[in-house]
Each structure stands twice: as C-alpha cells, then as structure tokens.
Amino acid sequence: MNIQNIRKLTGGVIRKNEPMALHTTFRVGGPADYYIIPRNAGETAALVRYLERNGIPYYILGNGSNMLVSDDGYHGVIIDLGRNDGTAFTMLGYEYIGDELIMDAGAGCTMASIGSFAVKFGGTGFESLAGIPGCIGGACIMNAGAFEREMKDVVRSVEVITRQGEVKKLGRDEIEFRYRGSSLMDEGYIISRAEIVLQKGDPAEIQKRTDEIAGLRKEKQPLEYPSAGSTFKRPEGYFAGKLIQDAGLKGHRIGGAQVSEKHAGFIINRDHATASDIASLIRHVQDTVLADSGVLLEPEIRFLGSFEIDIPF
C-alpha cells in the first residue's frame, strides 16, 4: 500500500503497526498494518474506494467491542470511526418535533453517550440500550439489543458508505433487521450516521430507569474484567449462559481466559489472556455444550486475523 496515496485521501490520523490491544474491549490483539482515523464520511468513502480498487483488506472499527483480533494482528487497514473526539463521527445533534426527540448521531458515538444525551434532553426508549458496550454504527449493523429492546425499535434512518465508496441514506423501511444482524451487515455497508427517534419523557424517570438497568448489568455481568460482551448468540429456545453453566463450564479457564463465574455467557480476559487463549476457550465451550445438550453455540463476536483453531460459524 502506498502511504502517500493514503495521505492524499485523509487529513486524519495514520499509524503503522498499531497494537489492536489498545483498541478492543478484550484488551488483546496484535498490530494492524495500518490504523486510520478519517475525519468525516467523505474521507472514509475515498479510503474505501481506494482500498477496494486495490484489493487491500480493511475493517471498520467503532468501540472495539464484539470482536477478537488475533495475536498476529491484522494484515490490512483498520479504519476507526470511534476513537477521535471532534470528528464528524463522534458528534451528536438533536431537535424536538412534537413529542419526538430526534437525535443525529455520528457512527462513533458510544451507546453510553447517546443514553446520557437522552436523559439530559428527556428522550425515553433508549434506557435499556445505553449500557451496550459499543458505538451506534456497529449497534445498527448488528441490531444490538438488551432487555427486550433492539436498535430496530429506535432507528429511523442511517447514512451509509457502500463498498463502492458511495454515500447514501436509507430509511427504516429499507433495512431488514433480525436477531443480531441486518441487511446492512449483509451488504457490507459502513454506517456514518444514524437518526435515532425517542419519545418525550420525564428526565428524572428516564434517569431512574437507566440507573436501574445499569445496576442489573453490574450485578449480573462481569463488567470488572475485559470482555467483548455476550460471547454467544442466544440459541432459539435456549439461553447460552444456562447451557454453558449446565455443561459445568462456569469458571473454566484456558490460560488467562475464563468463562465468567458471574455470568457463564461471558468469556473474560481474567489474567493477561492472549487472543489464542480466548479463541481456544470459545471452541472448548462450543464442543462441550454440543456434546452435553446437542446445541452448537454461535459466537456473537467477530474474529479478525488468523487463528490456529477453527471456530464453527
């Protein structure tokens, strides 16, 4: 890759051999060949056109949650839309139209920041989503959800960048959302902005409900350790955490990776785990639960880079 060509496309941050452990919630991962923080959708579209035209692998990063980067790192370009405050991707705007609070959120806005914004301006409907560890772009792509609510319930439209580097807007009726996935994911779209619509509410009540849900998360989830959130998707008719616990795997360790003792649906970086430790434990959990219950658990996280062990799905 010609770095001079890249510098012509963006005035943002460009780094070589950037350790991905600094940018993922698992706190593991080797270096990316190139790490770029573009300043806006136009620069991102230009980068995508260049990378696609030249067959250079790339990956779009938000908060670094819901992913596992190999110890060898990523041989390609990481385009980070969530790490540089002040870019177009981390800006929030809003307006009230009638009883609706309409928020214009850059893809790099964290779910927590949107939740805080909603409390401040009295928008209800985001309380259960605010604690999801990620950014709005990735949350829209995968239709993230918690406590019986999903992104599809609050998204009115999104601005996307196509694989051809075209910027366009899609309305809610043009997007097919499903459990932990969407047509946005299928098309390989990059989210640059999202329009979130909430209902007018009492800020005190919204804060109370937000705090209640945050308390439940703290009580039931291992938030004190690095993780990628829920490791596995919920199998139809089952709960992944219960299947793992019933298989006797709660607290099981491989190297520094552990099945959480607080919630078996989480694999955590308990003690200086490597990506290989985590991948090995994921596969061990899959094999053990399959033998015990006949259910093959599907990982909710994405794997980036090369791993010695194969993970089903």
Of the residues 180, 193, 217, 270, only one is catalytic, namely: 180
Helix residue ranges, H only, the chain: 3-9, 41-53, 111-121, 136-141, 183-187, 203-220, 240-246, 275-293
d(CA 22, CA 43): 24
276 is catalytic: no
Instruction: Show Cβ contacts of residue 240 under 8 Å, excluding neighbours closer than 6 positions.
Output: 230, 231, 232, 233, 234, 264, 265, 297
Ramachandran category for residue 185: left, alpha or beta (phi over 0 → left; psi -120 to 50 → alpha): alpha
Q: Which of 230, 260, 276, 280 is catalytic?
A: 230
* Cβ–Cβ < 8 Å for 103, 122: no
Say if residues 115 and 154 touch (Cβ distance below 8 Å): no
Q: How many residues does the chain have?
A: 313
For tokens 């573009």, the residue is: 38
H or E stretch at 199 = strand 190-200
Cα 248 to Cα 203, 232, 251, 264, distances in angstroms: 44, 17, 9, 10
Give Cα 202 to chain centroid, integer Å: 29
Helix, strand, coil percentages in the chain from 3-state DSSP, rounded to 5: 30, 30, 40
260 is catalytic: no
70 is catalytic: no
DSSP sequence for 160-179: EE-TTS-EEEEEGGG--EET
From 231, 306, 304, select the one nearest 79 (Cα to Cα): 304
What residues act catalytically? 180, 230, 300
